[in-house]
């Protein structure tokens, strides 16, 4: 009986430590995704400002990328977010919009962009599947557009 109890306790400890372990490159993550946030605002001159501008992720990790647009916007002043090469080299899991529980389960399908035409947020969970440096491109709706660039480094 004691051996069974010790064995079960050891298994539970291993499971608990695995659940709290950091993302490990080359291992497809499981459990809940790790949240990362990018806030997009306008600078004094109207140029989009990304905060932060860079993320370092583990290849195969499980992440939920939150794009946050905190400012009041319109379709004329809105912001457009793209991470084309990252999305082409990732396994997309779930898309969701705003603070409500509306989710789109894509299971590997892709999408092209997120556009903020008002204050709010959108997020997508994904597994990056190839190492590399991937550009994030954000522009406003001006002609010509004001642009900002960020990057995701997958190790």
The DSSP code sequence of 42-107 is: E-TTS-EEEESSEEEE-TT--EEEEEEE-S---TTT-EEEE-HHHHHTEEEEEEEETTS--EEE-T
Give the structural domain span for 34: 2-154
- For the stretch 97-116, pLDDT in tens is 886 667 888 776 778 899 99
Asked whether residue 11 carries a pLDDT value surpassing 60, the answer given is no
* pTM metric for this prediction: 0.79
Q: Which residues pair with 56 in a beta bridge?
A: 153
The CATH number of residue 117's host domain is: 2.60.40.420
Separation between Cα atoms, residue 108 and residue 106, nearest integer Å:
6
Structurally, the chain folds into a number of domains equal to 1
For residues 141-147, give the mean pLDDT. Answer: 94
**More reliable by pLDDT, 151 or 16:** 151
């Amino acid at each position: 009986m004691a051996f069974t109890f010790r064995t079960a306790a050891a298994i539970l400890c291993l499971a608990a430590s695995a659940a709290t372990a950091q993302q490990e490159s080359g291992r497809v993550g499981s459990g809940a995704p790790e949240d990362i946030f990018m806030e997009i605002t306008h600078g004094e001159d109207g140029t989009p400002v990304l905060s932060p501008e860079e993320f370092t992720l583990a290849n195969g990790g499980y992440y939920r990328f939150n794009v946050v647009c905190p400012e009041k916007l319109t379709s004329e002043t809105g912001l457009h977010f793209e991470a084309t090469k990252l999305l082409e080299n990732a396994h997309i899991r779930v898309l969701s919009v705003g603070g409500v529980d509306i989710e789109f389960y894509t299971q590997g399908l892709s999408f092209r962009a997120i556009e903020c035409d008002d204050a709010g947020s959108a997020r997508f969970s994904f597994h990056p599947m190839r190492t590399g440096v991937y550009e994030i491109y954000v522009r406003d709706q001006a002609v010509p557009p004001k642009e900002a660039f960020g990057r995701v480094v997958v190790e």
